[in-house]
Amino acid sequence: MKYVNFFLSIIFLSACLLLYSVPQAQENQEKQFNPLYDAEAVIQRLSYDNFKNIKLLRTAIYNFGGGEQEFNSLVDTYAEASALYFRNEMIASANLFTKNEKDIREVAMRLAKLYKEQAEKLHIQVIKMGVRHTLKASIEQTKPNPSVDPLISNASYGIKIANDYLVRSKPIDAIYYFRRAKENCFKVYQVLGEQLPEEYKKDIVDNQNKIYIAKEKKN
Predicted confidence at residue 33, as pLDDT, reads 74
Mean pLDDT across the stretch 44-64? 96
CA gap 154, 145 in Å, rounded? 16
CA gap 77, 47 in Å, rounded? 11
> For the chain, what is the domain count?
2
pLDDT digit string, tens, across residues 2-44: 445 544 554 555 555 444 444 444 456 777 777 777 889 999 9
Decide: 162 and 116 in contact? Cβ < 8 Å.
yes
pLDDT digit string, tens, across residues 107-135: 999 999 999 999 999 999 999 999 999 99
Question: Within this chain, do residues 116 and 87 fall inside the same structural domain, yes or no?
Answer: no
In a domain, 200, yes or no: yes
CA gap 29, 27 in Å, rounded? 6
Supply the CATH number for residue 132's domain.
Answer: 1.20.1270
Residue 139's domain spans which residues? 112-207
Q: Give the containing element (helix H, strand E) for 166.
A: helix 148-167
| pLDDT above 70 for 71 | yes
Contacts of 141 (CB under 8 A, 6+ apart): none
In a domain, 216, yes or no: no
CA gap 5, 62 in Å, rounded? 14
Question: Within this chain, do residues 15 and 104 fall inside the same structural domain, yes or no?
Answer: yes
